[in-house]
Structure 1
Amino acid sequence: MPLFQRKPKYSATRRLLLKGKLLKRAESLLVDELNNKVAEREATLKENVPPLKLSGLSVEDLQALCKTMHQQIDVLDEDRYNIEVKVVKNETEIEGLTLKVRELKGVKRPNLKKVKKTGDLVLSEAKVSAKADFKAKLKTVKKDEEKAMSGMEGRKKLFNTQ
């Protein structure tokens, strides 16, 4: 760390002022973008869907208009369904091809690094060896001493030694 601190290029008030200006500019750009989207949507709707002239039409004319609109809706739904089917088919094909590419490349195994044993591993190994060694630490008793200790004489010896 250096012993001296760098002097900032801009003071805190200047930075706050610049930040405020940036936020105002971003907000104005966002509002403009939203207005442009709304205007573009309205323009495409006017272009693709002409306004309906329902005034002065008889009941039969309105029914005929509804039938033609339903036919147009059915055609558009069929087109939309066909496009969705094509998209799903292409997606499955892409997934299959990516799997094939992965199989051709094979799985690259990373180079393994040597890792030092941590304290936990050393302690766990010590516990395992201690479990195996517990019999070695026990006192060995000969069978003759065991018989002598089992009778009354052994009890007297225990009593006398204490």
Structure 2
Amino acid sequence: MPPKAEAKPKCKISASRKLSLKILLLTRATEELEAENAARDEEKVRHLSAKLPPLQFSGLTMEELQKMCKQLHAKIDVTDEERYECEAKVFKNNKDIHELKLKVQDLGGKFKKPALRKVRVSADEMMRALLGSKHKGSMDLRANLKSVKKEDIKQEKELTMEVGDWRKNVEAMSGMEGRKKMFDAAGGGQ
């Protein structure tokens, strides 16, 4: 006999205590998040001050200002290149992560095709579902059939009776005489 699964012990913490702990955890998390954001902002300011010292415009001639502008443009170009390279790396890494996730899902085999249910749907309901409001007429297939009169059936039977035995017809038309008869019958001999 397999051993019985052990029952989980009941939690001895009251609901109000759980709520107060949850509130404490959330307040602590928000404080840490605010501290992290402040540290990130300070890091950004420190990095920018190290990369770009404060500019002194007073007392510079026109040539010195133009030279400073060219230097700033060169630094902007370098920064744009670095940003582009970082974005390309991020895009490539995200693509790789997505492909790896798909591989893991394929290897895991967790996806099972659901069993299809039999559903009774009439042709009218099917057409309404597919075409929406465009479908107006009913799918009465018998109504769309061509009506056949009894006289037409009698005429077809008479035509088949007139033809007679096909062997006699073939023998009569064989050879040059038969071709001449066919030519004369078509009106080519006049």
TM-score, length basis structure 2: 0.38
TM-score, length basis structure 1: 0.44
